[in-house]
Amino acid sequence: MRDKWRNLKKSKQQPVSFDGRTPADIDNYEYACNNIVVFEKIFSEYVNAVTHQGRKLKPSINNKITKEDVTPDLAFEQKNGKYRAVNEIKAWLPNDRSRWMEVVEQLQSYDDELTNWKFSGSEKHDIMITLDPQFTNEFFDYIEKLKEKGITIDRNFSIIESSRQERAEPRIFVKKDHGIINHDKLEKEFRRGIPIIMYNIVRDLDKLKFYDANPPVIYTMMQMWDHVFSKFINSREKQIRLDTGKIVPIDLEVDKIYEKLSKLTHDSNPDCIEKGWIRNALNEFVGLGMAEPSVTSSSKFTIKYRKHSGDTREFLIKLMKKKEEAKPKPSKDGLDQYIKKEDSKKN
């Protein structure tokens, strides 16, 4: 059930394709990571709540949607059990409004007497959804129309907006747009709006790059290039070669990369990264000529690491666009044959 809802993305990673969504997909993934940090700070400071990322909560036999465990993006609970909440974070909703029902069903799956909380308590949990401000009012209207059909969320439910604001001190601003939060202090603060200065959380943002959703493959490549490969430049000779613009080969195994990337996850969910994400990223590096697979093991690769100027995201996007533009374009007469050939490669 999780793959059906996980940010409405495909559960199987696809090769990078620049159809206008890839940079947006990266932004959406970063939006979720940033808000995990932001909400953890808010709930910790305002109500001394513990934050869980990707915690598996068990539904009751009366759950309308699923019999399987549900894993909201965030779950909050006070140690005394007096307040609990779950929060689903979505930077983007599909243009096709009919697919918004999938989001509603995901929220409905949390509208239940969920168990497997860390601390005991009898209070009913709140349900939140955090969205980019462009979606909050429209999603509220959508929810209201569903009520006319008897489709409801019965627990206290709120729609939160979160946006980055570029000011003298850049900040992430979160505010409740609709609904009820069943905690007096949180209700008051979220209704007024809470600014989180980026400078105050920059270290936490740098430490959290993954959560329990399949990231765009180029995003995984970015994190590997910036946070993993450089850690294996372990000699002065290699560093000198890098500084003079030369390529330095680095022999790495998937398990070693996994070990490093796992440090870029939430403390409550260090195992959220899947090795398949890493393999997909390495295969993309191979396709760009930036890595070579080992002839002795499918888990070993040689990375052709080098320094580049500017942002790694733009560096990789530029290389991938160049690769895609170099692909031979099929003639109109041979389009069917070309499609069949490309489909056979994927299979």
Partnered with residue 174 across adjacent β-strands are: 162, 194
pLDDT over threshold 90, residue 19: no
What are the CA-CA distances from residue 46 to residues 49, 53, 188, 338 (Å)? 8, 18, 11, 58
pLDDT over threshold 60, residue 277: yes
Q: Pick from 262, 301, 265: which is nearest to 281 by CA?
A: 301
In angstroms, the CA 265 to CA 212 distance is 9
Instruction: Answer left, alpha or beta for residue 10, where phi above 0 means left and psi between -120 and 50 means alpha.
Output: beta
Q: To the nearest whole number, what is the mean pLDDT of the chain?
A: 91
pLDDT value of position 345: 66
In angstroms, the CA 2 to CA 10 distance is 11
In angstroms, the CA 345 to CA 347 distance is 5
How would DSSP label each residue in 113-138?
A: --B--SS---PPPEEEEEE-HHHHHH
pLDDT over threshold 90, residue 3: no
pLDDT value of position 9: 42
pLDDT, tens digit (0-9, with 9 covering 90-100), for 99-140:
999 999 999 999 999 999 999 988 899 999 999 999 999 999
pLDDT over threshold 80, residue 338: no
Pairing of strands 126-131, 74-78: unpaired
pLDDT value of position 322: 87
pLDDT value of position 121: 86
pLDDT-based confidence at residue 210 (cuts at 50, 70, 90) = very high
- pTM for the predicted model, two decimal places: 0.87
pLDDT-based confidence at residue 342 (cuts at 50, 70, 90) = low
Using alpha carbons only, what angle is made at residue 61 by residues 59 and 65, rounded to the nearest 5 degrees?
65
pLDDT value of position 331: 60
